């Protein structure tokens, strides 16, 4: 047994190291520890720029408030003239970038021009004639009226960075923004540390340091939240939420997001091209049971395309409900009758469909199997393919997709009109929206809304869009989506931004 002391000595550092850890946050660090599933693989605004606007390192000219309304960002005010074709944005006189250089109109123009060159940026879809600097103003000239320009400028790809942030070829080497926090260190893809920017033009945040860590597994995030290893934790699964709710010293915050989980339907498919079949599929879905079982909240069952958080886009339409008899009746009208094995048949062909979805949002595969079970009850043989998310746009492009289950965010910029217009895009829909479906009335209403309408006419146009979609179901809404976060009781003032543009950490205070 003389070897035991040797063994003890060898293991002692491990044991001592372990025992040195404490869950007392005050003893560890004064930084606010934020954890989420979002890995940061690039500093480029178009690729992973949202993390730096959420951390309030980078700012856009315009941002959105907690209600989703446009609010000043880096620009103090803005105005339009000449039928909304010339937009002027005023810059603050005393703003500086994190490297100490002054915020000039030319620096803003350079950032916006780089963003507009990126296909994936909503700015690329704006009819821009020219962007130019005039004294302390940025002027954007358009070829056509476009009332949504300020909303587009809330997108993270339009963030303004210092000239020194860019390499010669235009890619971002360092995130040098204008926000209340500056980057202290970045360890791609998992860690970003920020500290207060001393020369920030606005109010100094009370939380002086923030660490962000990407943790991919939801159960790990739940453990970190419940055991005090993180202060703000995003992306908890229902099981993780229950664990957090049972823990001391941490509370759950949540917000209904402008996001709808929906079925993308190939409207040129021999079976799905019939609106009666689409309505039958919709009627067969027991949305409340699915929402309760998967999302643990039956109120998230979708009754129309857009959630109540987008109030302007809620129409007085007959809600989508679960009605198996109605579903069977619609199938019968379309020529589908129960076969010998219970599967619906038409001309001897069974009703077999494939639903494609992806695992990046953990609720989607679970909802897909629930949809499979619901449809089996009315005789639809549905195969579920859980694969890479890109199979949905790829299947859209080559026409091979039948049904896709996806979670569509309707306010990537502050006005949902842009995303709704994309979902129901001219030419038969879009990669993450309708597929090979078009309606003249809907198109006319969306075009009119984009060019600007008085509120009463705009309201009627919005209702036309929602009502037509409800009747034709080019996409079949399944559920709405609630974003949640676990927040330590050590901080006050935490709110979830419904548009996810910022985590508003500069508004937090220590309890």
Partner 1 sequence: MAAALSVPDHRLGRVLVRRGLQAVGVALAVSAVCFWVVQRLPGDAAYRIAAGRYGYDLVDAEAAASVRAELGLDRPAWQQLGDWLLQLVQLDLGRSLVTSQPVAEELAYYLTGTLQLAAAALVVAVVVGAGLGVLAARRPGGVVDRFTTAYVASVRALPPFLLGLLLVLLLSAQLGLLPAVSSGGPRALVLPALTLGVGLSGLVATVTRSAVVEVAASEQVRFARTKGLAERRVQARHVARNAAVTIVPYLGVQAVVLVEGVVVVESLFSWQGLGHALVHAVFWRDVPMLQATALVLALLVVAVNTVVDLVGLWLDPRPRALEGVR
Give me the residues that bind partner 1 (CB under 8 A), please: 1, 3, 6-7, 10-11, 14, 17-23, 28, 41-42, 44, 46-47, 119-120, 171, 188-191, 213-217, 220, 223-224, 226-229, 358, 360-361, 387-391, 393-394, 396-397, 406-409, 430-432
The structure tokens listed for 112 are 């916006």
Output 224 or 434, the one with its CB closest to partner 1.
224
CB-wise, 83 or 171, nearer to partner 1?
171
Q: Which is nearer to partner 1, 105 or 192 (CB)?
A: 192
Rounded least distance, CB 172 to partner 1, Å: 10
**Are the C-beta atoms of 86 and 142 separated by less than 8 Å?**
yes
Q: Which is nearer to partner 1, 121 or 507 (CB)?
A: 121
H and E: helices and strands count for the chain: 16, 21
In this complex, which beta carbon is closest to partner 1, that of residue 12 or of residue 93? 12
CB of 221 to partner 1, least distance (A): 9
Cβ distance to partner 1 smaller for residue 133 or 483: 483
Q: How far apart are CA 347 and CA 25, in angstroms?
A: 68
Min dist CB 41 to partner 1, Å, is 5
Under 8 Å between Cβ of 225 and 236? yes
Q: How far is the CB of 159 from partner 1 (least distance, A)?
A: 16
Residue 259 half-sphere exposure toward CB, CA atoms < 13 A? 17
Of 191 and 349, nearer to partner 1 (C-beta) is 191
Which helix H or strand E contains 382, and what residues bound it?
strand 381-386
The residue whose two tokens read 């001219």 is: 426
Rounded CA-CA distance 91/108 in Å is: 9
Nearest distance from C-beta of residue 18 to partner 1, angstroms: 5
Phi, psi of 100 (to 5 degrees): 95, -10
Alpha-carbon distance of 54 to 234, in angstroms, equals 12
**How is residue 272 written in tokens?**
């799905």
Which of 495, 482, 499, 506 lies closest to 236, judged by CA? 482
Q: Taking the complex as a whole, how short is the minimal distance between the CB of residue 389 and partner 1, in angstroms?
A: 4
CB 485 within 8 A of CB 252: yes
Query: Least separation, in Å, of the C-beta of 24 and partner 1?
Result: 9
Question: In the block, which residue shows the tokens 């548009």?
Answer: 499
The residue (of 8 and 77) whose beta carbon lies closer to partner 1 is 8
Instruction: Round to whole Å and give the CA distance between 86 and 63.
Output: 19
DSSP-based three-state secondary structure for 474: coil
Q: To the nearest whole angstrom, how small is the minimum distance from the Cβ of residue 12 to partner 1?
A: 11
């Amino acid at each position: 047994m003389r070897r035991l002391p040797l063994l003890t000595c060898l293991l002692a550092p491990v044991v001592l190291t372990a025992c040195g850890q404490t869950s007392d946050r005050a003893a560890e660090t004064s930084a606010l520890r934020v954890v989420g599933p979002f890995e940061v693989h690039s500093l480029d605004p178009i690729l992973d720029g949202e993390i730096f606007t959420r951390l309030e390192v980078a700012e856009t000219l315009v941002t959105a408030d907690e209600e989703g309304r446009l609010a000043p960002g880096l620009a103090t005010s803005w105005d339009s003239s000449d039928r909304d074709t010339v937009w002027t944005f005023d810059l603050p006189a005393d703003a500086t970038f994190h490297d100490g250089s002054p915020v000039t109109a030319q620096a803003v123009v350079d950032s916006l021009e780089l963003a507009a060159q990126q296909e994936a940026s909503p700015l690329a879809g704006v009819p821009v004639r020219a962007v130019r600097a005039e004294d302390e103003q940025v002027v954007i000239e358009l070829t056509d009226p476009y009332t949504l320009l300020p909303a587009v400028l809330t997108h993270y790809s339009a963030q303004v960075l210092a000239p020194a942030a860019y390499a010669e070829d235009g890619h971002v080497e360092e995130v040098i923004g204008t926000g209340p926090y500056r980057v202290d260190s970045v360890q791609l893809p998992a860690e970003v540390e920020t500290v207060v920017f001393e020369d920030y033009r606005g109010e100094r945040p009370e939380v002086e340091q923030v660490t962000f860590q990407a943790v991919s597994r939801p159960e790990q995030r739940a453990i970190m939240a419940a055991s005090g290893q993180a202060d703000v934790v995003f992306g908890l699964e229902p099981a993780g939420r229950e664990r957090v709710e049972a823990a001391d010293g941490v509370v759950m915050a949540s917000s209904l997001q402008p996001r709808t989980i929906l079925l993308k339907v190939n409207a040129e498919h021999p079976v799905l091209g019939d609106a009666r079949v689409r309505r039958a599929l919709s009627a067969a879905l027991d949305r409340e049971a699915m929402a309760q079982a998967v999302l643990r909240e039956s109120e998230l069952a979708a009754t129309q395309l857009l959630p109540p958080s987008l109030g302007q886009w809620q129409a007085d339409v007959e809600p989508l409900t679960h009605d198996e008899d109605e579903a069977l009746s619609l199938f019968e009208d379309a020529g589908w009758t129960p076969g010998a094995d219970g599967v619906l048949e038409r001309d001897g062909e069974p009703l077999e469909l494939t639903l494609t979805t992806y695992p990046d949002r953990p609720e989607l595969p679970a909802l897909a199997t629930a949809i499979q079970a619901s449809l089996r009850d009315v005789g639809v043989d549905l195969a579920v393919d859980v694969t890479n998310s890109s199979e949905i746009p790829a299947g859209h492009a080559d026409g091979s997709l039948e049904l896709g289950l996806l979670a569509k965010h309707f306010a990537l910029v502050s006005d949902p009109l842009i995303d709704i217009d994309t979902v129901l895009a001219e030419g038969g829909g879009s990669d993450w929206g309708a597929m090979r479906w078009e309606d003249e009335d809907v198109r006319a209403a969306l075009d009119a809304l984009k060019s600007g309408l008085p509120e009463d006419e705009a309201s009627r146009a919005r209702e036309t869009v929602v009502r037509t979609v409800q009747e034709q179901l080019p996409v079949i809404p399944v559920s709405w989506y609630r974003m949640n976060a676990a927040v330590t009781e050590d901080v006050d003032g935490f709110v979830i931004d419904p548009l996810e543009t910022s985590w508003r950490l500069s508004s937090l205070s220590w309890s």
